[in-house]
């Protein structure tokens, strides 16, 4: 009959959502067919969701303890800004279902597409990941399988840590048999392994050894692997490399030293990848030790809290109401940034980038029709438009530009699009030329085809100044 896995665990066969408890979900397509769980994309009246389906090997199998653990996990994580637990947990006689909101892109997807992430965006994503792990650990929740596929990103780079695995996957694995790892953790075709090396043990063959609890040091090793991949865009470990690293036959520091240019980020990665769990830093210690070094101070005292408030709380935290008309959430987001621009510029120290007093020198031969120098007309912050960016712009303007651009694509009011153009012009002053060309101009040019004339005029004004 040929070779096969010599295990008692059932593989995920054909699974659907044909259960009365999920009658409000309409099957769309299968996302992945992992060996234990099958992931299905389904549509609810309030939005799109992901349902993970586990098919029981026999009807008498009871999962009460797992269900209770998942329910406790959901309650503990409900107020964590960067966590997305399963919001529906259902067990039937034949299957178990875990349902959460669907988010379009994972970090792995974002790394793989253009335009490439800037360093400030990579640091912002890494900062959110460490904050998410810190908040989860503070509540006694450990993820167990942190990888780039489990980090979900909105279009403005707000991060959600999802698919917590402590209750659904084995904690410890036999180091002499890769079958258990393949069943539970190799859900992609990349053959990567970000599981902490101490989780590969001899006593994992015993049921008691398999069920020993996870700890924070194990998650921090995975965090180091993810941050390394975020900055190098290459897998940090494969399974064979990790097992060699555990035995002392492989050293990842040589490749990371040349691939990660930022010394502080490299130090964080190497601190997380310590072979001795006791030598690793906790997430809170990393945030404290590298404040003002790897991560700017405004990440801590302004940007994280403000972006969390800006992020639509229905995005991953409550059902999104799928109305036939635009609810105006994007308009509200743009309006808030517009009226808070003076506070944002102070918090990000954008005024510190001004060249002199902000006045533009005009040559005697310059054509003047009363239009130049162009004035950026923001509330409580009217000033002449000029280029205030240095060679390497690292002041957070790009992060706010991402929010504005993502919101512009789904606005309902013309006035919000006009304010969005003004914001693109204001934040564009502090962006590098590459960021203006790759990030801002394509969306500003698209607004030239808007149906409202005042929006076309605002877009033309923005494009002209940026160019």
Q: Does residue 373 have a cis bond before it (omega within 30 degrees)? A: yes
Q: 347-400 pLDDT, tens per residue?
A: 988 876 554 444 444 444 444 445 556 777 777 777 777 776 654 556 789 999
Q: 149-194 pLDDT, tens per residue?
A: 999 999 999 999 999 989 988 899 988 888 888 888 887 778 899 9
Kindly report, as residue ranges, where domains of CATH 1.10.510.10 are found in the chain. Answer: 20-298
pLDDT for position 29: 86
Element (DSSP H or E) covering residue 375: strand 375-378
Q: 16-35 pLDDT, tens per residue?
A: 677 787 888 888 888 876 67
Element (DSSP H or E) covering residue 122: helix 119-138
In the three-class reduction of DSSP (H, G, I as helix; E, B as strand; rest coil), residue 44 is classed as strand
Q: 399-423 pLDDT, tens per residue?
A: 999 999 999 988 989 999 999 999 9
pLDDT for position 362: 43
CA-based radius of gyration for the chain: 25
Residue among 248, 170, 165, 247 nearest 205 (CA): 170
Q: Which pTM was predicted? A: 0.88
**Any catalytic annotation for residue 354?**
no
Residue among 283, 280, 225, 223 nearest 255 (CA): 225
Regarding predicted confidence, which is higher, 182 or 8? 182
Largest CA distance in the chain: 88
Contact 295, 127 (CB under 8 A): yes
Residues forming beta bridges with residue 84, ordered by sequence position: 162
pLDDT for position 316: 45
Q: Which of 64, 119, 145, 332 is catalytic?
A: 145
CATH architecture of 20-298: Orthogonal Bundle (1.10)
How far is it, in rounded angstroms, from Cα 195 to Cα 226? Answer: 11
Contact 193, 219 (CB under 8 A): no
3-state helix, strand, coil in the chain (%, to 5): 45, 15, 40
């Amino acid at each position: 009959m040929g070779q096969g896995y010599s295990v008692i665990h059932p593989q995920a066969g054909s699974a659907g959502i044909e259960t009365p408890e999920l009658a409000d979900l309409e099957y769309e397509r299968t996302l992945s067919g992992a060996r234990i769980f099958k992931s299905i994309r389904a549509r609810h009246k309030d939005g799109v969701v992901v349902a993970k389906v586990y098919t029981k090997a026999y009807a008498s199998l009871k999962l009460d303890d797992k269900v209770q653990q998942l329910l406790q996990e959901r309650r503990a994580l409900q107020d964590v800004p960067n966590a997305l637990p399963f919001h529906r947990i259902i067990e039937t006689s034949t299957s178990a279902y875990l349902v959460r909101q669907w988010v379009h892109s994972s970090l792995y997807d974002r790394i793989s597409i253009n335009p490439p992430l800037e360093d400030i965006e990579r640091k912002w994503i890494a900062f959110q990941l460490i904050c998410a792990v810190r908040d989860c650990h503070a509540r006694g929740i450990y993820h167990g399988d942190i990888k780039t596929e489990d980090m979900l990103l909105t279009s403005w780079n707000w991060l959600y840590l999802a698919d917590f695995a402590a209750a659904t996957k084995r904690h410890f694995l036999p180091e002499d048999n890769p079958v258990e790892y393949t069943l539970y953790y190799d859900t992609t075709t990349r053959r990567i392994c970000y599981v902490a090396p101490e989780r590969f043990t001899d006593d994992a063959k015993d049921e008691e050894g398999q069920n020993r609890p996870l700890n924070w040091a194990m998650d921090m090793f995975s965090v180091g692997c993810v941050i390394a991949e975020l900055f190098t865009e290459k897998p940090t470990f494969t399974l064979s490399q990790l097992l060699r690293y555990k035995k002392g036959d492989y050293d990842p520091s040589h490749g990371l030293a040349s691939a990660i240019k930022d010394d502080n980020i490299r130090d964080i990665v190497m601190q997380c990848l310590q072979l001795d769990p006791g030598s690793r830093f906790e997430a809170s210690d990393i945030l404290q030790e590298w404040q003002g070094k790897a991560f700017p101070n405004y990440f801590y005292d302004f940007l994280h809290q403000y972006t969390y408030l800006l992020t639509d709380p229905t995005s991953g935290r409550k059902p999104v109401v799928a109305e036939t008309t635009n609810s105006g959430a994007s308009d509200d987001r743009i309006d808030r940034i517009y009226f808070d621009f003076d506070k944002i510029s102070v918090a990000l120290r954008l005024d510190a980038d001004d060249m002199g007093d902000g006045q533009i020198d005009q040559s005697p031969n310059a054509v003047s029709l009363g239009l130049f120098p162009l004035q950026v007309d923001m509330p409580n912050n009217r000033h002449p438009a000029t280029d205030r960016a240095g060679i390497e712009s690292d002041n957070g303007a790009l992060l706010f530009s991402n929010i504005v651009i993502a919101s512009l694509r789904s606005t309902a009011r013309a006035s919000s699009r006009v304010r969005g153009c003004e914001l693109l012009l204001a934040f564009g002053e502090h962006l590098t030329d590459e960021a203006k060309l790759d990030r801002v101009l394509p969306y500003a040019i698209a607004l030239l085809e808007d149906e409202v004339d005042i929006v076309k005029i605002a877009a033309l004004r923005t494009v002209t100044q940026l160019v």
